[in-house]
Amino acid sequence: MRLNGKKIILGITGSIAAYKAAILLRLLAKEGAEVQVVITPAGKEFITPVTLSALSGKPVISEFFGVSDGTWHSHVDLGLWADAMVIAPATAASLGKMANGIADNMLITTYLSAKCPVFIAPAMDLDMFVHPTTQKNLETLASFGNIILEPGEGVLASGLYGKGRMEEPEKIVETLVHFFESKKKLLNKTFLVTAGPTYEKIDPVRFIGNYSSGKMGFALAEALASQGAKVILVSGPVSLQLNHPLVETIFVESAAEMYEVCSACFDRCDGAIMSAAVADFTPAAPANQKVKRGKERWNLELEPTRDIAAELGRRKKEGQLLVGFALETTNELENARQKLVGKNLDLIVLNSLNDPGAGFGVDTNKISILDRYNNIAEFGLKSKKSVAADIVEKIITLIGQASNPAGN
Ligand code: CTP
């Protein structure tokens, strides 16, 4: 699923190679991409929209208005929606229209509105392909930043042998995968992320815990991995799991175990995000046997745990980034700032328990990010996945500034 979550417009024009677009669509869907097919009127003569809508799971767009309900198909919205547009096959006529802005069908208007990278896979007979008009149009399109997927040589539909066969669907998919991979901003970086609560043993059947669900930490691990980072996710007991090839999850129970694992991993990491709700106190002498009822009163002696974030802050080397969380109920900004400085963090993410929809257990969060220069970035109430993406964006900006302090 190397294109998971990617939104792709597949443009199909009127060439016999349109049958290959169905294979391409199938492969894109298999890689996890969400595909919207836009087909020209001539394209429909070569492949039926029924096949394409069945493969994409979405109605195919061809006209400016929906045929059945008369709704307006907005090429502008489509152009903004997509992460990439692939026009395969692209006929000589469509190349000419695209190069010259002749927006007389839904596909060309969508092309002109697209804000995303556009991949073009020409398909035509060899003489049409080598004609100076076609070559000039391709040059023009390449000069706009479009990526031309050169056609291959072989026997063409006309029976002639030469250059003009649409690039194979498998190769187009590989090109797209490679393109998105190269855009990832945390390639070759390794991050440590802590998540969830810790359980501090009282006796074999009881513990001191907290309400942390681990959702924020797991969302952060996924957001880092989606930018190409390797992630060591150290989690307390939660009912979540993450299957991502770049994420190694290590489950621990207590604050002491979390400390050991983090301490062993931190030196080989480029950064760490401490989102776990680590217990601050642990029973000084957990009982080996279950504590029985019948006592008048039970005083449990607690001793402080080690502060993992503060310890990593002490050990932090140049180039390592440390991000902490602060969950506060009073004096939020002041307390968060103190933790930022006291633990030698680079960023602290503040979430207030006073904000409805923020904090433990829920799927949403509302955060502010404070840096060492007293900048505060405030965000609205969002899903924890979007919050994670915002935090990771901020980390990427910080890494960029550190590697280019002069801003060149
Ligand atoms: N933290 C940690 N290890 C601990 C306690 C906290 O790594 N033993 C980290 C948390 O993961 C978080 C940051 O330190 O990133 C702040 O945690 P928080 O509980 O808000 O602050 P504390 O330092 O525990 O202070 P207090 O509970 O008194 O507010």
Among 194, 258, 265, 278, the mutation site with the greatest number of ligand 1 atoms within 8 A of its Cβ is 278
Give a yes or no: residue 290 inside a domain: no
137: helix, strand or coil? helix
The reply to whether 141 and 75 lie within a common domain is yes
Tell me, using a 6 A CB cutoff, whether residue 349 lines ligand 1: no
The reply to whether 217 and 361 lie within a common domain is yes
Q: How many domains does the chain have?
A: 2
The reply to whether 163 and 41 lie within a common domain is yes
CATH of the domain at 263: 3.40.50.10300
The reply to whether 233 and 144 lie within a common domain is no
Q: How far is the CA of 114 from the centre of ligand 1 (A)?
A: 45
Angular region, 164: left φ>0, alpha ψ -120 to 50, beta rest: left
Q: Is the distance from CB of 47 to CB of 18 less than 8 angstroms? A: yes
CA 249, CA 243: separation in Å to the nearest integer? 9
Q: What is the pLDDT of residue 30?
A: 97
Give a yes or no: residue 203 inside a domain: yes
The reply to whether 16 and 100 lie within a common domain is yes
Tell me, using a 6 A CB cutoff, whether residue 236 lines ligand 1: no
Q: Whose CA is nearest to atom 12 of ligand 1?
A: 325
Residue 273 tokens read as 């995000």
Instruction: List the end-to-end C-alpha distance of the chain, in Å, as a whole number.
Output: 36
Tell me, using a 6 A CB cutoff, whether residue 129 lines ligand 1: no
Give a yes or no: residue 113 inside a domain: yes
The reply to whether 134 and 228 lie within a common domain is no
Q: What is the pLDDT of residue 358?
A: 74
pLDDT in tens, 244-276: 999 999 999 999 999 999 999 999 999 999 999
- Measured CA to CA in angstroms, residue 5 lies from 2, 246, 318 at distances of 9, 16, 35
Q: How many CB atoms lie within 10 A of CB 330?
A: 9
Q: What is the pLDDT of residue 243?
A: 92
- Measured CA to CA in angstroms, residue 395 lies from 302, 323, 400 at distances of 36, 9, 9
DSSP characters over 147-174? EE-PPEEEE-TTS-EEEEEPPPHHHHHH
The reply to whether 86 and 41 lie within a common domain is yes
Encoded amino acid at 84, one letter: A
Q: How far is the CA of 360 from the centre of ligand 1 (A)?
A: 15
Tell me, using a 6 A CB cutoff, whether residue 280 lines ligand 1: yes
Q: How far is the CA of 181 from the centre of ligand 1 (A)?
A: 35
270: helix, strand or coil? coil
Residue 309: name the closest of 349, 268, 262 by CA: 262
pLDDT in tens, 357-402: 777 777 888 899 999 999 999 999 999 999 999 999 999 999 988 7
Residue at which a domain ends, from 183, 200, 225: 183
The reply to whether 394 and 248 lie within a common domain is yes
The reply to whether 14 and 163 lie within a common domain is yes
Residue 203 tokens read as 């006796």
CATH of the domain at 96: 3.40.50.1950
The reply to whether 122 and 198 lie within a common domain is no
Q: How many CB atoms lie within 10 A of CB 257?
A: 16
Q: How far is the CA of 224 from the centre of ligand 1 (A)?
A: 22
Residue at which a domain ends, from 122, 155, 183: 183
Residue 216: name the closest of 346, 72, 390, 375 by CA: 390
The reply to whether 111 and 199 lie within a common domain is no
Tell me, using a 6 A CB cutoff, whether residue 193 lines ligand 1: no
CA 305, CA 255: separation in Å to the nearest integer? 7
Give a yes or no: residue 157 inside a domain: yes
Tell me, using a 6 A CB cutoff, whether residue 261 lines ligand 1: no
CA 381, CA 379: separation in Å to the nearest integer? 7
Tell me, using a 6 A CB cutoff, whether residue 308 lines ligand 1: yes
Instruction: Give me the active site residues, please.
Output: 210
pLDDT in tens, 191-218: 999 999 999 999 999 999 999 999 999 9
* Site of tokens 């699923």: 1
- For residue 327, which atom of ligand 1 is closest to its CA? 20
Q: At what angle do helices 92-100 and 132-143 cross, to 10 degrees?
A: 50
The dihedral sign for the CA sequence 398, 404, 407, 408: negative
4: helix, strand or coil? coil
Tell me, using a 6 A CB cutoff, whether residue 242 lines ligand 1: no
Give a yes or no: residue 355 inside a domain: yes
Give a yes or no: residue 1 inside a domain: no
Low-confidence ranges of the chain (pLDDT < 50): none
Give a yes or no: residue 296 inside a domain: no
Q: How far is the CA of 314 from the centre of ligand 1 (A)?
A: 15
- Structural domain including 354 reads 190-283+302-403
Give a yes or no: residue 98 inside a domain: yes
Residues 110-149 as b/e (b if ≥16 CB within 10 A, e otherwise) read bbebbeebbbbbbbbbbebbeeeebeebbeebeeeebbbb
Among 192, 325, 370, the mutation site with the greatest number of ligand 1 atoms within 8 A of its Cβ is 325
The reply to whether 360 and 234 lie within a common domain is yes
* Site of tokens 């960029």: 400
Residue at which a domain ends, from 167, 183, 199: 183
Q: What is the pLDDT of residue 406?
A: 63
